[in-house]
Amino acid sequence: MNLIPEEQALVEAARAARVHAYAPYSRYMVGAAVRTTEGQIFTGCNIENASYGLSICAERVAVFCAVAAGARAIEAVAIVTEDGATPCGACRQVLMEFAPDPARCCVILATLDEVVARYTLATLLPQAFGFTGAAPESSV
Protein backbone atom coordinates (compact mmCIF):
# COMPACT_ATOMS: atom_id res chain seq x y z
CA MET A 1 0.00 0.00 0.00
CA ASN A 2 1.42 3.36 -1.04
CA LEU A 3 1.77 6.09 1.56
CA ILE A 4 2.75 9.71 1.18
CA PRO A 5 5.97 10.67 3.04
CA GLU A 6 4.06 12.25 5.95
CA GLU A 7 2.13 9.01 6.49
CA GLN A 8 5.26 6.90 6.17
CA ALA A 9 6.91 9.05 8.85
CA LEU A 10 3.93 8.45 11.14
CA VAL A 11 4.21 4.68 10.66
CA GLU A 12 7.93 4.80 11.41
CA ALA A 13 7.23 6.76 14.59
CA ALA A 14 4.71 4.13 15.67
CA ARG A 15 7.20 1.35 14.94
CA ALA A 16 9.81 3.09 17.04
CA ALA A 17 7.33 3.56 19.89
CA ARG A 18 6.34 -0.12 19.81
CA VAL A 19 9.85 -1.06 20.89
CA HIS A 20 9.05 0.47 24.30
CA ALA A 21 5.83 -1.50 24.84
CA TYR A 22 5.54 -2.93 28.34
CA ALA A 23 3.54 -6.09 27.72
CA PRO A 24 4.85 -8.88 29.96
CA TYR A 25 1.37 -10.38 30.39
CA SER A 26 -0.05 -10.50 26.87
CA ARG A 27 3.31 -10.37 25.04
CA TYR A 28 1.42 -8.34 22.43
CA MET A 29 3.36 -5.19 21.66
CA VAL A 30 1.65 -2.14 20.17
CA GLY A 31 3.02 1.18 18.98
CA ALA A 32 0.98 4.21 18.00
CA ALA A 33 1.67 7.67 16.65
CA VAL A 34 -0.72 10.56 16.19
CA ARG A 35 -0.17 13.66 14.06
CA THR A 36 -1.85 16.90 15.06
CA THR A 37 -3.27 19.46 12.66
CA GLU A 38 -0.21 21.56 13.50
CA GLY A 39 2.07 18.77 12.27
CA GLN A 40 3.38 17.57 15.60
CA ILE A 41 3.80 13.83 16.19
CA PHE A 42 3.20 12.16 19.54
CA THR A 43 3.76 8.49 20.21
CA GLY A 44 2.67 5.81 22.65
CA CYS A 45 3.02 2.14 23.44
CA ASN A 46 0.82 -0.20 25.41
CA ILE A 47 1.64 -0.33 29.12
CA GLU A 48 0.32 -3.31 31.07
CA ASN A 49 -0.05 -3.87 34.78
CA ALA A 50 -0.12 -6.88 37.11
CA SER A 51 -3.65 -5.72 37.86
CA TYR A 52 -4.63 -6.38 34.25
CA GLY A 53 -7.50 -3.91 34.07
CA LEU A 54 -5.13 -1.02 34.67
CA SER A 55 -3.34 -1.68 31.39
CA ILE A 56 -3.60 1.01 28.74
CA CYS A 57 -3.48 0.80 24.97
CA ALA A 58 -0.79 2.42 22.85
CA GLU A 59 -3.30 4.64 21.04
CA ARG A 60 -4.59 6.23 24.22
CA VAL A 61 -1.07 6.83 25.50
CA ALA A 62 -0.28 8.67 22.25
CA VAL A 63 -3.47 10.74 22.37
CA PHE A 64 -3.01 11.60 26.03
CA CYS A 65 0.62 12.63 25.44
CA ALA A 66 -0.58 14.95 22.70
CA VAL A 67 -3.29 16.46 24.86
CA ALA A 68 -0.98 16.83 27.85
CA ALA A 69 1.41 18.77 25.62
CA GLY A 70 -1.37 21.18 24.71
CA ALA A 71 -2.54 19.68 21.42
CA ARG A 72 -6.27 19.29 20.81
CA ALA A 73 -6.70 18.29 17.15
CA ILE A 74 -5.56 14.98 15.65
CA GLU A 75 -5.63 14.42 11.89
CA ALA A 76 -3.90 11.06 11.47
CA VAL A 77 -2.98 7.95 13.45
CA ALA A 78 -0.64 5.04 12.75
CA ILE A 79 -0.82 1.79 14.72
CA VAL A 80 1.81 -0.92 14.52
CA THR A 81 1.29 -4.49 15.72
CA GLU A 82 2.61 -7.88 14.71
CA ASP A 83 -0.58 -8.57 12.74
CA GLY A 84 -1.92 -5.19 11.65
CA ALA A 85 -4.78 -5.14 14.15
CA THR A 86 -7.46 -2.45 14.31
CA PRO A 87 -7.78 -0.20 17.39
CA CYS A 88 -10.09 -1.25 20.21
CA GLY A 89 -13.43 0.45 20.72
CA ALA A 90 -12.29 2.48 23.71
CA CYS A 91 -9.40 3.93 21.72
CA ARG A 92 -11.69 4.73 18.79
CA GLN A 93 -13.89 6.77 21.12
CA VAL A 94 -10.90 8.58 22.65
CA LEU A 95 -9.51 9.36 19.19
CA MET A 96 -12.94 10.67 18.19
CA GLU A 97 -12.84 13.19 21.03
CA PHE A 98 -9.81 14.88 19.52
CA ALA A 99 -10.47 14.42 15.79
CA PRO A 100 -12.10 17.61 14.50
CA ASP A 101 -12.88 15.93 11.17
CA PRO A 102 -13.37 12.17 11.71
CA ALA A 103 -14.25 11.61 8.05
CA ARG A 104 -10.77 12.83 7.12
CA CYS A 105 -8.84 11.48 10.10
CA CYS A 106 -6.70 8.72 8.62
CA VAL A 107 -6.06 5.55 10.65
CA ILE A 108 -3.14 3.57 9.20
CA LEU A 109 -2.60 -0.02 10.30
CA ALA A 110 0.80 -1.57 9.85
CA THR A 111 2.96 -4.49 10.84
CA LEU A 112 6.71 -4.39 11.39
CA ASP A 113 7.37 -4.42 7.67
CA GLU A 114 4.25 -3.40 5.78
CA VAL A 115 1.17 -1.25 5.81
CA VAL A 116 -1.90 -3.46 5.75
CA ALA A 117 -4.88 -1.11 5.76
CA ARG A 118 -6.08 2.44 6.07
CA TYR A 119 -9.45 3.67 7.20
CA THR A 120 -10.98 6.91 8.29
CA LEU A 121 -11.92 7.25 11.94
CA ALA A 122 -15.54 7.83 10.93
CA THR A 123 -15.54 4.46 9.19
CA LEU A 124 -14.14 2.71 12.25
CA LEU A 125 -16.58 4.37 14.66
CA PRO A 126 -19.82 5.22 12.88
CA GLN A 127 -22.57 6.95 14.84
CA ALA A 128 -20.10 7.86 17.57
CA PHE A 129 -21.26 9.40 20.79
CA GLY A 130 -20.45 13.06 21.20
CA PHE A 131 -21.42 15.19 24.15
CA THR A 132 -24.21 17.56 23.29
CA GLY A 133 -24.89 19.17 26.65
CA ALA A 134 -24.16 22.81 27.32
CA ALA A 135 -21.16 23.22 29.61
CA PRO A 136 -20.19 26.75 30.57
CA GLU A 137 -17.24 27.86 28.44
CA SER A 138 -15.21 28.59 31.57
CA SER A 139 -15.28 24.93 32.65
CA VAL A 140 -13.40 23.44 29.65
* Single residue of 57, 63, 115, 121 touching ligand THU by CB under 6 A: 57
Q: How many CB atoms lie within 10 A of CB 106?
A: 19
> Cβ 91 to ligand THU, closest distance in Å?
5
> Cβ 66 to ligand THU, closest distance in Å?
16
Is 28 one of the binding residues for ligand THU (CB under 6 A)?
Answer: yes
DSSP designation for 76: E
Buried-state track 54-93, b at ≥16 Cβ within 10 A, e below 16: eebbbbbbbbbbbbeeebeebbbbbbbbeebeebeeebbe
| Residue count, binding to ligand THU (CB under 6 A) | 13
Specify the DSSP element, H or E, that contains 15.
helix 5-18
Residue 137 known to be catalytic: no
Considering 7, 48, 59, 75, which one is annotated as catalytic? 59
Site for ligand THU in 72-111 (CB under 6 A): 87-88, 91
Report, in angstroms and rounded to the nearest whole number, the Rg of the chain calculated over CA atoms: 15
Q: Considering beta carbons, is residue 76 or 133 the nearer one to ligand THU?
A: 76
Is 124 one of the binding residues for ligand THU (CB under 6 A)?
Answer: no
- Residue ranges that bind ligand THU, judged by CB under 6 A: 23, 26, 28, 30, 46, 48, 55, 57-59, 87-88, 91
